Structure 1
Amino acid sequence: MTVTSLATCALLALTTLSSACAPSPYIENPDITTEVDDWRDEVIYQVIVDRFANGDVNNDFNVTHDPTNLNRYMGGDWQGLIDRVDYLQALGVTAIWISPVVMNVEEDAGIAGYHGYWTQSFNDVNPHFGDLAKLRELVDVMHAHGIKVIVDIVTNHVGQLFYYDINQNGQADITTWYATDGSDTLDIVTEWDPGFDGRTIQSWTSLGYAGDAPLGWVDMPELNRRPPSPPEFRSDDWYHKMGRVTDWSDLDQVVYGDFPGGLKDLATENPNVRAGLIRVFQDWITKTNIDGYRIDTVKHIEHDFWSEFCPAIRDHAAVLGKEQFLMFGEVFDGDDTLLGSYTQDDMLDSLVYFSQKYWIYDGVFKRGDPTSKLDELYGMRAVNWGAEPQPGGIGLAPRDIPINFMDNHDVGRFLFDKDSEDALASAIAFLMTQEGVPLLYYGTEQGFAGGNDPANREPLWPSGYDTDGDLFVWTAGLTALRAAHEPLRRGDFTLTWTSPDTGSAPGAHMLAFERSTDTETVLVVLNTSDEHTNSTADAAGAMETSFPSGTTLTVAFPPTLEGQTWTVGGDGALEVSLPPRGVAVLVE
């Protein structure tokens, strides 16, 4: 098949898909409702829509049937989520974070935009997943089952929708090097994705440099690489035009550079750009009655953008009648000071807790680092993260509601480099009982073990949506425990045992904490060692708790220990011994 005929077929197929999934005739916006009392009560489940369930084969254009080709669309859609709501409920999920809903660039260099981070239109839905009516139906069905809906959004960049016309000849044709697999040659075109230049990308002619390179907006409908929508996003001065980040330690590049792959960086300091982004993301609340936003690439935008964007979104939601609209962001970094800087006055309600992922889930639960790292990290959060609720926000200080996670779509899964379901089970136990909101990545409950992108974005359907597997049952048991005991959701958090030691030293690898309200205290004890049985005692004595002497504590979880008891000694002393990777949740 010739290139011309291939492109024609692709265009016809995309046109057919767009027609089949075009938005329904205008219907009224949905009633706006508040679904949340306290976000600490929720268990969030992250879903890549394309990988969860295929409920409607009519939108399966450009879909691969090769389960190993994870760079293509695979067929998941919003109907699939609707069809599998019982699976979510069986797991104990109370909120879903779904991948971006907006129209994306179809593909680039053979990789599809299934993930949703290559925006082409900010105000149209991605027809691979359904139409606007289907998205509204998804929200309605989830709400009817007590499940809130959080949508992933991108404010930092758009997809590869223009090139830099460096030689001013009206086409992207400058190549720098070639890659070959032995049969076909791939041209790498620098005008699509040139390296960073703080002046803005420069053009040149035969006479030398000729000033700023013009932007070449393209119209490739077969790839949905067209000028962006709404039309105001087609303004050249809405972009930084400085090219691709080449040095991630250079703050100017991090904030002003294009993401590798030619994702064009928006000039978010421009008041018109800010107003445009505010309008489109206010509108999605109006159109769909969603309950929150997870916001991508937060650290790649100047801080004062968030001080304007977040209040505008909150105010709009409140005017509609939507209280408790949650906004949490991705600051893909282990620097807790940097994370906390985005939770100050009028900014984000919370963040995906990356510093904890690196320090605790990777360090303590995977590598066997000392549990005393929790004291250090949580001391940092108390200082670094916002200490007061955001005005008009969710009513909780950011430092009191971290979004806790162990893995996601941007990092290898827990089991990828820690081949131990016992270790994963103990990490899930911590996730479901610690302070904040647990965020579980889809497939964790099925023991998925994919490495870095795209291996960590597996389709869920080969699992058969099994609800009887050990990890699923374990996770569901913990979500039920969390729902049954208010302290595990809203209680104060107090570390009662950590150790600076590792190996077989007394008390090493043990971790214990209390979650308490005025009416109940729950004690959680974990052994994070792969090898050693240990207890909450060392040469200095046993763990001190808040329980009165003589209190009998009974195991509420796991089921294998249910009914086992410990009695608190003098001054609240308690020694709990657990085998490697053991867990005990104790209640009066």
Structure 2
Amino acid sequence: MSRLLTTAATLLALAAPALAESPAPYRDRPFADDVVYFVVTDRMANGDASNDKGGLTGGPEQTGYDPTDIGMFHGGDFQGLAQKLDYIQGLGVTAIWVTPPVVNKVVHKYDGGLSAGYHGYWGLDFLNVDPHLGGNAAFKAFVDAAHARNIKVIMDIVVNHTGDVIQYRECDGSSMSKPCPYRSKGDYPTTRRASDGAAINTGFKGDGAAHQTVPNYATLTDINYAYTPYVPAAEAGVKNPAWMNDPRHYHNRGDSNFSGEDSIFGDFSRLDDLYTEQPAVVDGLIEIYKHWIREYGIDGYRLDTAKHVNPEFWHRFVPEITAFAKAQGIPNFIIFGEVANEKPADLAAYTGILGLPSVLDFGVAVAARDTLGMGADLDLWDGLFRADRLYPKGDETAHQLATFISNHDQGRLAFKIRKANPKMKAEELQARVVLGHALMFFSRGVPTLYYGDEQGFVGLGDDKASRQPMFASPSKQFNTEERLGTIGPRTGDAFQPGHSLYRAFASMATIRQAHPGLRQGRTVMRYFERKGPGLLAFSRIDDARGEQFLIVANTDTKPRSLTLDTEGPGTTWTSLHGTCAAGQGTAYSVTVPALDYIVCRKG
């Protein structure tokens, strides 16, 4: 088995890429034609050490900077990211998704210590770039440099919450770990004061869609209906724009349990939950995110925690932002939301309910994890593809789903497989990681690479344990954890275009770019093993060009053969990756090495 796996990995790494046509100009290119590279900016590259502390003085509690701690700022910035554009473009990437660049609350305190806002999801100043990341000028220079290389920039944005500033007199605010239970609208109605039960907010009709009007919220004058919120004097006025400093613009009901009512109205782990039913809040957030398009020419938004925001908000936000972008000369503005749900049918339902053009496809991540790491049946992929018809526009929407197998919250595919198989040899783990990426690149959707996967990063968990720096780091954890196929010293920079995984992923991107049918062709399932590991086969059909592409993946640790029906366009088979017989007709025989894949074109 070892010899077979080594052979497969070598073939994957050294495969000669197809000759690719150049991507269309970034303003003209549809999202379905992109390959996305997702970076945690603070962890990518340190181009200017003078901004590591964000212009602040003191120790980690004051500056947030401590590169020995995986939960603090490490020094990455937009100057560094701009310097690595050639490296990123060499992967075949056509769009870079960056974590929120806005100024964050520097640190939050937890029972176990400190954690910094290096990731961008604790925003305070929503109109400016965090000085830790280089500030406004550095961000503008990065965006311009990416555009000069025909690469789009997608900005992660948050409308659900801000950093934690508002406190409740009934709760211990000394630590983000302290509980502050959700108080429901049934037990604590908006028309009754929590402390004494007195009637308040006379005339307020509630938060239903029909009542989300300026006159209705004008009657909401007393916000002490669930807790007694206040802003500590030391943090008065810290948010920007100014309207964000008013506690009336927040739900103030305590921590969400992420189910039912509190999924929308509760605080996300103590973070200040914006009252997105209020027209003033909707207007304010739309203006904030018009600003980033107008000032920086952003090409798209990834919507954080999208399912925790009321649908009516998105029903205004999406069309207004899209129309504004078009007026600014960005006709193909990208919007995809985070709906953290593993079920394809639920993802499709949320896409329709929220009115989103696209979402992150958690279904692909789950199918890759379970079939490559848990020995699950391959019918998971069949169910995933069949659910595409449930999306609002069927295949059209499915082709725009941001597919991924690793990310900054759930962790890397390599870690998930390693966790389930602690004794698996590194060469087999690497082969499975390559196979997972092949399934992501060649199935429908927009492949979204997570930075570091191309350098063999594994990680030790999810969240901050999966956000390794690509540059030299004093972090003991990051320097001692497993890496696959490492080139050079473990403690040095990890920007090796010669890495076998980098070369394998670049080859996949090149093949995909060379053939429009692999980007926008419809999917036809051909075969899947019904029990345990084996062969998974599907075609991407390009009716307009009269061709089809057969992708066959082998999740078994021994070679597998199969003859299958390939009715559809084309007459003659050629190989794009692996060995494809030069036969004709619809009955087609394939042999796929262990933990490998083939891509065959019939034209």
| TM-score above 0.5, yes or no | yes
Q: CA shift at 1:543, angstroms?
A: 3.3
Residues 136-151 of structure 1 mapped to structure 2, 5 A cutoff: 136-151=140-155
Q: CA shift at 1:320, angstroms?
A: 1.9
RCO (CA 8 Å, sep 6+): is it higher in 1 or 2? 2
Q: CA shift at 1:219, angstroms?
A: 4.7
Is residue 444 from structure 1 mapped to residue 459 from structure 2 by the alignment? no
What is the aligned partner in structure 1 of residue 91 from structure 2? 91
Residues 165-204 of structure 1 mapped to structure 2, 5 A cutoff: 165-166=169-170, 174=172, 188=175, 194-198=180-184, 199=188
Is residue 528 from structure 1 mapped to residue 554 from structure 2 by the alignment? yes
What is the aligned partner in structure 2 of residue 401 from structure 1? 400
RMSD: 2.5
Q: CA shift at 1:97, angstroms?
A: 0.3
* Alpha-carbon separation, structure 2, partners of 1:211 and 1:269: 17
Residues 42-53 of structure 1 mapped to structure 2, 5 A cutoff: 42-53=34-45
Q: CA shift at 1:131, angstroms?
A: 2.1
Is residue 387 from structure 1 mapped to residue 409 from structure 2 by the alignment? no
Q: CA shift at 1:193, angstroms?
A: 5.4
Residues 338-377 of structure 1 mapped to structure 2, 5 A cutoff: 338-344=346-352, 347-358=355-366, 360-377=367-384
Is residue 585 from structure 1 mapped to residue 594 from structure 2 by the alignment? no
Tell me which of 132, 135, 150 is aligned to 1:131: 135
The unaligned stretches of length 5 or more in structure 1 are 1-32, 167-171, 176-186, 389-395
* Alpha-carbon separation, structure 1, partners of 2:467 and 2:542: 37
* Alpha-carbon separation, structure 1, partners of 2:143 and 2:175: 42
Is residue 495 from structure 1 mapped to residue 501 from structure 2 by the alignment? no
CA spacing shift, 1:365–1:289, aligned 2, 3 Å = same
CA spacing shift, 1:85–1:189, aligned 2, 3 Å = closer
The question of whether the paired residues in 1 share the 8 Å contact of 2:361 and 2:402 is answered with yes
* Alpha-carbon separation, structure 1, partners of 2:66 and 2:284: 39
TM-score with structure 2 setting the length: 0.78
Q: CA shift at 1:545, angstroms?
A: 3.6
TM-score with structure 1 setting the length: 0.80
Query: Partner amino acid for 2:583?
Result: T
- What's the secondary structure of 2:373's corresponding residue? coil
Q: For each residue in 1:208-243, what CA deviation from the matched residue of structure 2 results, as whole angstroms up to 9, or x when unmatched?
A: xx965332213547xxx8542111112222111100
Query: Partner amino acid for 2:268?
Result: F
* Alpha-carbon separation, structure 2, partners of 1:253 and 1:319: 37
CA spacing shift, 1:480–1:244, aligned 2, 3 Å = same
Per mean C-alpha deviation after superposition, the further-off stretch among 57-66 and 267-276 is 57-66
Query: Partner amino acid for 1:297?
Result: T
Query: Partner amino acid for 1:289?
Result: G
* Alpha-carbon separation, structure 1, partners of 2:555 and 2:118: 39
- What's the secondary structure of 1:518's corresponding residue? coil
- What's the secondary structure of 2:90's corresponding residue? helix
Q: For each residue in 1:124-176, what CA deviation from the matched residue of structure 2 results, as whole angstroms up to 9, or x when unmatched?
A: 2111112222211111100110110000000000110110123xxxxx7x48x
What is the aligned partner in structure 1 of residue 323 from structure 2? 315
Query: Partner amino acid for 1:438?
Result: P
- What's the secondary structure of 1:373's corresponding residue? helix
The question of whether the paired residues in 2 share the 8 Å contact of 1:527 and 1:580 is answered with no
Q: For each residue in 1:337-368, what CA deviation from the matched residue of structure 2 results, as whole angstroms up to 9, or x when unmatched?
A: 3322343388211000012322x112223223
The question of whether the paired residues in 2 share the 8 Å contact of 1:215 and 1:236 is answered with yes
Is residue 259 from structure 1 mapped to residue 268 from structure 2 by the alignment? yes
Per mean C-alpha deviation after superposition, the further-off stretch among 85-94 and 489-498 is 489-498
Q: CA shift at 1:188, angstroms?
A: 4.6
The question of whether the paired residues in 2 share the 8 Å contact of 1:536 and 1:543 is answered with no
What is the aligned partner in structure 1 of residue 102 from structure 2? 102
What is the aligned partner in structure 1 of residue 433 from structure 2? 424
What is the aligned partner in structure 2 of residue 303 from structure 1? 311
CA spacing shift, 1:108–1:476, aligned 2, 3 Å = same
The question of whether the paired residues in 2 share the 8 Å contact of 1:197 and 1:243 is answered with yes
* Alpha-carbon separation, structure 2, partners of 1:423 and 1:341: 31
CA spacing shift, 1:346–1:236, aligned 2, 3 Å = closer
- What's the secondary structure of 2:128's corresponding residue? strand
Query: Partner amino acid for 2:371?
Result: V
* Alpha-carbon separation, structure 2, partners of 1:315 and 1:568: 48
Identity %: 31
* Alpha-carbon separation, structure 1, partners of 2:163 and 2:122: 4
- What's the secondary structure of 1:519's corresponding residue? coil
What is the aligned partner in structure 2 of residue 169 from structure 1? none
The question of whether the paired residues in 2 share the 8 Å contact of 1:423 and 1:528 is answered with no
What is the aligned partner in structure 1 of residue 542 from structure 2? 516
Q: CA shift at 1:557, angstroms?
A: 1.6
* Alpha-carbon separation, structure 2, partners of 1:519 and 1:54: 45
* Alpha-carbon separation, structure 2, partners of 1:220 and 1:305: 31
* Alpha-carbon separation, structure 2, partners of 1:200 and 1:75: 46
Tell me which of 249, 268, 284 is aligned to 1:238: 249
Tell me which of 487, 509, 528 is aligned to 1:479: 509
CA spacing shift, 1:282–1:50, aligned 2, 3 Å = same
Query: Partner amino acid for 2:588?
Result: L
- What's the secondary structure of 2:552's corresponding residue? strand
Q: CA shift at 1:526, angstroms?
A: 2.9
Per mean C-alpha deviation after superposition, the further-off stretch among 112-121 and 60-69 is 60-69
CA spacing shift, 1:283–1:342, aligned 2, 3 Å = farther
- What's the secondary structure of 2:513's corresponding residue? helix
